[in-house]
């Protein structure tokens, strides 16, 4: 049986609260199903930077990258900014350092949760490119001033090929769950040269994967369909900042950020974190919904199972997903879903629902 080393980075705000909950679930799974995990904790956060000036370095990331996977809470506080005026958070640095080019963001309407739209069968995977595009720190082509500032959208063929290979293989793997196997590219090739290249490479990769259906929409129309007809989507893939935005629209369709997990992965490294941020407005109140973090932990186990050919890990991931589904169906629900339960009560309901 495999043994895993997990680096844990709780971060800021509600990060430590939801990470604690996820670790309780993992430790229960270790006791119940015989998983073996060692944890190494790293306290990088915007708060640490504010207090000490210390931020994550390449040497830190080399050390952290030795772990089999990283569990990440949330990082960043709106009032803590570095010298460039940007917020501090290790997630962008880690994406660059480990070459995490795809952020997998599954979005599913669970029984017991109400959607603000009429659709009932929402089950999609948004894949956001995360190593380039308009969000990757490539903003250095001229110094910003009070009069003008620029950011650059750069997209490369090599990243697009890897990204779309992931999208088509995810669509194929999701067929096991009865979904049809379909990939949609959301892009803006009518206006952005970078997106012309992205669309061209998408067509090439789609032509090599004709067993999976494919479609393309301009990001503006595609965003409208996300709200008016989300059931048309299975796997949705997009550029970094477009993907950032549409993944949160998608999360809003199924109850919000409190139930939206994510996995930032390359072919060798994985950082698993909820789609939400540090939520300073509710930090310290014991009311953060831990489900997005717990589902991200299940994604970590699923990914480790795939990387290491470890069926136990995959079964435990499925058990956690089943327990979350049962807990949402039975309630009590957390406040962001219209209920009254706090973090601890949601956690206890999930642990009780874990299969024997």
Residues 20-59: x where in contact with ligand NAD by CB under 6 A, - otherwise, as a string: ----------------------------------------
- Secondary structure (DSSP) of 196-215: HHHHHHHHHHHHT-TTSEEE
Please, what is the minimum distance in Å from the beta carbon of residue 299 to ligand NAD? Answer: 14
Answer yes or no whether residue 261 interacts with ligand NAD by CB under 6 A. no
CA atoms of 15 and 138, how far apart (whole Å): 27
Answer yes or no whether residue 278 interacts with ligand NAD by CB under 6 A. yes
Distances (CA, A) of 252 to 184, 216, 317: 19, 22, 24
* Cβ distance to ligand NAD smaller for residue 160 or 288: 288
List 232's β-bridge partners, or say none. none
Residue from 131, 189, 273, 321 that binds ligand NAD (CB under 6 A)?
A: 273
Cβ-proximal residue to ligand NAD, closest one: 277
Which tokens belong to 16? 């430590």
Please, what is the minimum distance in Å from the beta carbon of residue 355 to ligand NAD? Answer: 25
Answer yes or no whether residue 276 interacts with ligand NAD by CB under 6 A. yes
Size of site (CB under 6 A) for ligand NAD: 24
Answer yes or no whether residue 165 interacts with ligand NAD by CB under 6 A. no
Looking at residues 79 to 98 of the shown chain, list those that interact with ligand NAD (rule: CB under 6 A). 87, 89, 91
Closest CA to 251 of 238, 241, 242, 260: 260
Torsion of CA 73, 74, 80, 85, to 10 degrees: 130
Answer yes or no whether residue 6 interacts with ligand NAD by CB under 6 A. no
Answer yes or no whether residue 277 interacts with ligand NAD by CB under 6 A. yes
Residues that bind ligand NAD (CB under 6 A): 14, 18, 74-78, 87, 89, 91, 257-258, 273, 276-282, 288-289, 292, 336
């Amino acid at each position: 049986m495999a043994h895993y080393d997990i680096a844990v980075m709780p971060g800021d705000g509600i990060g430590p609260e939801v990470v604690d909950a996820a670790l309780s679930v993992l430790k229960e799974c270790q006791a119940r199903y015989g998983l073996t995990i060692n944890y190494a904790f790293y306290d990088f956060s915007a708060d640490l930077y504010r207090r000490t000036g210390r931020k994550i370095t390449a040497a830190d990331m080399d050390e952290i990258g030795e772990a089999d996977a990283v569990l990440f809470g949330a990082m960043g506080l709106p009032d803590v900014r570095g010298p460039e005026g940007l917020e501090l958070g290790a997630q962008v640095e880690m994406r660059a350092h480990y070459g995490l080019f795809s952020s997998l963001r599954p979005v599913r309407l669970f029984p017991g949760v109400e959607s603000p739209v009429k659709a009932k069968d929402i089950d999609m995977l948004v894949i956001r490119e995360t190593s380039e595009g308009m969000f990757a720190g490539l903003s250095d082509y001229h110094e910003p001033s009070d009069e003008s500032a620029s950011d650059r959208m750069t997209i490369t063929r090599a990243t697009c090929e890897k990204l779309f290979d992931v999208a088509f293989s995810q669509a194929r793997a999701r067929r096991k769950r009865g979904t049809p196997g379909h990939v949609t590219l959301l892009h803006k090739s009518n206006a952005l040269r970078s997106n012309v290249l992205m669309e061209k490479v998408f067509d090439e990769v789609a032509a090599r994967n004709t067993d999976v259906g494919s479609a393309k929409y301009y990001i503006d129309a595609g965003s409208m369909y996300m709200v008016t007809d989300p059931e048309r989507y299975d796997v949705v893939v997009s550029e970094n900042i477009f993907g950032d935005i549409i993944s949160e629209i998608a999360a809003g369709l199924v109850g919000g950020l409190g139930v939206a997990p994510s996995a930032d992965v390359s072919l060798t490294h994985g950082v698993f974190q909820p789609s939400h941020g540090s939520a300073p407005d509710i930090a310290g109140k014991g009311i953060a919904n831990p489900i997005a973090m717990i589902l991200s932990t299940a994604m970590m186990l699923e990914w480790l199972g795939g990387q290491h050919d470890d069926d136990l890990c995959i079964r435990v991931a499925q058990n956690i997903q089943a327990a979350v589904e049962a807990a949402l169906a039975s309630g009590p629900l957390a406040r962001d879903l219209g209920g009254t339960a706090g973090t601890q009560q949601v956690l206890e309901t999930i642990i009780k629902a874990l299969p024997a």
